Amino acid sequence: MSEPIRVVVTGAAGQIAYSLIYMLSRGEVFGYDQPIILHLLDIPPMMEVLEGVVMEITDCALPLVVGVVPTADLSVAFKDVEAAFMVGSMPRKKGMERKDLLSANVKIFKEQGEALDKYAKKDVKVLVVGNPANTNALMCSKFAPSIPKENFSAMTRLDQNRAQAAVANRLGLRINQVRNVTIWGNHSSTQFPDAFHASAQINGIWKPVAEALNNSPWLKDEFVTTVQNRGAAVIAARKMSSAMSAAKAAADHMKDIWHGTAPGTYTSMAVLSDGSYGVPADIMFSFPVTIANKQWKIVQGLSVDDFSRSKLDVTAKELLEEKQDAVALCQD
Ligand code: NAI
């Protein structure tokens, strides 16, 4: 067996972490022969709840978990970690404006970026889940200058999984018979779920999803709005936000970083824009990427028609505004 790796989950007493920790502990992300030491960070008032989570981890009798470190101390949480799931954040409370939420969370990610910079391994892979995820990831990386910017990403995999499932349902296919659905932009209702470059396996042959659907207008209207609003629909039904599916998406995202994407496939994640597809540079924008040797590359050369262009521009504009607000808040 290999040497254990240290993995931190922030917001460890929360609902996403409750599912995620189990997936990590089973070996679903880093491998079924990779022991891990779990670092679990939450805020001081949650330490008792976190203790309960630790008891449950113990009671699961998981062979790959060789250590658990529950803490509210950033210097302990981020010490020598090789992978970081940044889930912890302040939820939106009644009467809170978007800017108040941004303010609270950007400050958390500034502080945690500084701690990653100081204590984590320099090759740590950082996945930001806590909202507003794209802008939190940008600020986290800005305050961790000694860690390569490419090591930071924000999660749009839940949106991608939702979009892939919607296409598979529409075509009456299994989930793995649909590939290369892309999420562009922000993890918010301005995101652009794009199935125009996706393929579906029909009677053993891969063909474009648009062709399989006879160029149905569904791809431009209902599909897009359903995926954009899926999070709100889950909250309306469950009275709580997506947790099991968010944890699965976080696991999928980090697993792809660790082990790479399969040949012929790509995945969506928010990474630092280099200006590809006319997207402004220096925002965390969700692109289609391939991954090998733990390094992502933005897929180039996909066609962008006027419809897609307008969608990309809307979500990029929102991210530029969020960035502007976040930078101003960090100077306060
Ligand atoms: P939750 O409220 O159940 O758990 C959040 C946990 O974070 C709480 O235990 C809280 O005490 C902790 N926390 C707050 N401030 C912290 C800090 N400074 N350091 C460490 N921990 C801190 O929330 P849940 O459902 O687990 O969601 C977590 C975040 O993930 C939210 O921001 C949510 O909006 C976001 N999310 C993102 C998705 C995505 O696709 N990117 C999908 C679903 C949720």
Please report the domains of the chain, with CATH numbers, ordered by start residue: 5-154 (3.40.50.720), 157-320 (3.90.110.10)
CB 65 within 8 A of CB 57: yes
Ligand 1 center to 86 CA (angstroms): 8
* pLDDT of res. 2: 86
Residue 19 Cβ contacting ligand 1 at under 6 Å = no
Neighbours of 310 (CB within 10 A): 11
Residue-wise burial string across 132-162, b where 16 or more C-beta atoms lie within 10 A, e elsewhere: bbbbbbbbbbbbbeebeeebbbbbbbbbbbb
* pLDDT of res. 94: 67
Cα 68 from Cα 28, distance rounded (Å): 18
* pLDDT of res. 331: 81
Residue 89 Cβ contacting ligand 1 at under 6 Å = yes
Cα 50 from Cα 71, distance rounded (Å): 9
Minimum CA distance residue for ligand 1 atom 4: 14
The pair of three-digit structure tokens given for residue 24, joined into one six-digit string: 């990590």
The pair of three-digit structure tokens given for residue 155, joined into one six-digit string: 């999660």
Q: Which of 187, 197, 253, 259 is catalytic?
A: 187
* pLDDT of res. 99: 78
* pLDDT of res. 91: 75
Residue with tokens 């090998």: 292
Residues 6 or more apart whose CB falls under 8 angstroms from that of 81 comprise 6, 7, 8, 39, 116, 119, 120, 121, 124
Q: Record the pTM.
A: 0.97
Q: Is 187 a catalytic residue?
A: yes
Minimum CA distance residue for ligand 1 atom 27: 16
Instruction: Find the radius of gyration of the CA atoms of the chain.
Output: 19
CA 93 from centre of chain:
22
DSSP secondary structure code for residue 92 in this structure: P
Q: Which residues of the chain have pLDDT under 50?
A: none
Of ligand 1's atoms, which has the minimum distance to the CA of residue 18? 26
* pLDDT of res. 97: 72
